[in-house]
Structure 1
């Protein structure tokens, strides 16, 4: 049986989602997406509109890759703006998927938890398949799941910081509380080692943009993240060893003393 990840019933082989912003050129973006093996690419009509002449070349590149499009509501600061942008994206890109982003604070671009829940309810009732970008708060996660979200996208750390997982405990709590929800760590992942750490926790997938787009060699970094996510997933499925309080010899000799961890 293949180890796939489900996005509202769509089964995907790749556990890496990739963004389309910030690349030095459209060609570098295309090469990085291909190298990543990602099957989902995020984009925003606030940055690239395929209906205007300026965005047509960009849109043609994305279409040629044969990937799933995940429109996002990046830059929205109100429920009304986010809902309107989601509806525009559905019409333009012909998909009911939406990565719901709602900025609550311009200092660290933290998602607004209250408006996020409200906008999620509106969009779910309108037939959207909502992938909400949220903080790692377990209670907010509960509200989103109770509304009907099948996917959650908590941050690892503030977007664009590259700081990795600031609160692994909080992410693990969401994973343990909702084992059947597709959990995607979104934002703050700066190194392949950060991605490995998240995947070893049982997270289902990683969404990346800045860490790849701003690398000196985006294509090579995309390949590195692809491999690290695969390694982290394999480690999770293999079942990591239990940490010990004291050293344990890997090859104890007969009649040689060594410390035992008493129960």
Structure 2
């Protein structure tokens, strides 16, 4: 049975998601988010969210309007109330901003909803179910290889203290079969999905810093969104000027070079990676 506070929290999260969606473009264009991971928290500034209630108008103004007015005229307050130059303190109330923490995974989910991105279709090994054993608890029977020695010792100690056979002067604890405890496990099935992203970026002199920053931000959000779809996502990075070469993530996002450009060299290297390592019938391949 859900509590009232859980319902209120769900409504609040829905309101926050709506506010974030309204200003999504501004949030995803922040370059300082590059390098963070899915569970990292991001502080998002939002206008203050007040609890709905009846409120009196400013300066106790009555009525339903302020005269005829023209389109674009400010509503409420007196004309001439403008911001100062910052040298002296003001007298009126300032604008209140609320900061909420959301994870990058949540932002990526909102991005996918807003852009109506499709669900990923699994290929190849996703048809195979991988079975994994996980330890989930303790039980009284089991193989000796899974005996939990600490729990067994604890049960034996409890029994001897209860029966009065334990002596602190001679701290000998002897387990009997009823004291033995064993780890229990559960077999969980997990689908295996294969996906790889191949990033390509022009680092030649024809690319300005602003253009490179756009590519980095785009690559970051593509990676963040796809990480939500796959557990074992692979990423490969290619940079090129006149010649293409594969680099690591750090080099891809921070390299600065100049020279001529030949984009075909990057496409050829990308095709070679796909042919050598990623069969199209077994992998979801995303070249960018």
TM-score normalized by the length of structure 2: 0.22
Larger Rg: 2
Q: Which protein has the bigger strand share?
A: 2
